[in-house]
Amino acid sequence: MPSPVFWISILPPSNLVEISDLNFTYDKRPVLQGINMVFPKGKLITIMGLSGCGKTTLLRLIGGALKPNKGHVKVDGKIIHDLNQNDLYDMRRKMGMLFQFGALFTDMSVFDNVAFQMREHTDLPEELIHDLVLMKLHAVGLRGTHNLMPSELSGGMARRVALARTVALDPMLIMYDEPFAGLDPISLTVVGDLIRRLNDALGATSIVVTHDVQESLKIVDYVYFMANGVIVAEGTPDEIRASDKDFVHQFVHGEMDGPVPFHYPGGDYRQDLNLQAI
């Protein structure tokens, strides 16, 4: 009787980004404290929270611009802060970053902005770069703007051009830092729809840092809420909308009264104004 044959199936990890017990401080000020997150492949996930809670710092740690004081960030199975310079640059070529307000090169045309990464990181001929740039611009509805300068674009159009530049090299990981800031309602909806469609079309994993609760809850698969450097809530959009946690409820519904105070801590108001008690 022949010996049985055993097949061992080795499946690729399902999470593109894994953050474990992450701590980070600026000087002596703690910014992130014991953060644990996972970002599954192919998913669109948002990180929400008040200004200064550490959201953008988290993106910088994922991109390797900062090193944690404790814990680690693992991308595609590799611990980012352990990579040498060449390996880190190779990893960054697989990432796309949409900065706040787009951050287009003001002295370059729309075409050259989108072509920049292709020229820097590939040996593609200019004929192919030309066609790829027009394809990326067409995907965001702005192929006809390729000869314009950034100063000739509206805020929403500039954000869409920046989005085309972000996905120029078909990254496996796309990070968005406040992609909806300063946009009118129509542009906001257009950009939100593009973020969702591009993520699905590229098979990428996307991380969106934003304050815009309503728009992000329409398009994302999962939500992390941060406050004071820790995760205070997480869940699907439906779970977040139905959350009974005071902080989440106040943030989602934009209420003034709640655990987040309107006034910054200060001394006695009457004493500050040199008023005597009546």
Task: Count the helix, strand and coil residues of the chain and give each as a percent rounded to the nearest 5.
Answer: 40, 25, 40
Domain boundaries, the chain: 11-94+172-254, 104-170
End-to-end CA distance of the chain: 101
Secondary structure string (H, E, C) spanning 20-50: EEEEEEECCEEEEEEEEEEEECCCEEEEEEC
Task: State how beta strands 44-49 and 205-209 pair.
Answer: parallel
| Tens-place pLDDT, residues 48-86 | 877 777 788 898 999 988 899 999 999 998 999 999 999
- Mean pLDDT for all residues in the chain: 83
* CA 237/CA 139 separation, integer angstroms: 27
Report the pLDDT value the prediction gives residue 11, as an integer from 0 to 100.
47
270-276: average pLDDT: 69
| Tens-place pLDDT, residues 83-102 | 999 999 889 888 988 887 67
Select 11-94+172-254's CATH number: 3.30.465.10, 1.10.260.40, 3.40.50.300, 3.40.50.720.
3.40.50.300
Coil/strand/helix, residue 124:
coil
Coil/strand/helix, residue 57:
helix
* CA 18/CA 57 separation, integer angstroms: 16
Radius of gyration of the chain (CA): 22
| Tens-place pLDDT, residues 172-182 | 999 998 888 77
Rounded to whole angstroms, what are the CA distances from 101 to 98, 152, 255? 8, 15, 26
Q: What angle do CA 219, 222, 226 make, to 5 degrees?
A: 110
| Tens-place pLDDT, residues 131-150 | 999 998 998 888 888 889 98
Coil/strand/helix, residue 107:
coil
| Tens-place pLDDT, residues 227-260 | 878 888 889 988 888 877 777 767 776 666 555 5
Coil/strand/helix, residue 237:
helix
Angle between helices 126-139 and 185-202 (to 10 degrees): 130
Please indicate whether residue 8 or residue 199 has the higher confidence score (pLDDT). Answer: 199
Q: Are 155 and 183 in contact (CB under 8 A)?
A: yes
Q: Where residue 36 falls among pLDDT bands split at 50, 70, 90?
A: very high
φ and ψ at 18, to 5 degrees?
A: -130, 125
**Among 41, 42, 1, residue whose Cα is nearest residue 18:** 41
Is the pLDDT confidence value at 117 over 50?
yes
Report the pLDDT value the prediction gives residue 260, as an integer from 0 to 100.
57
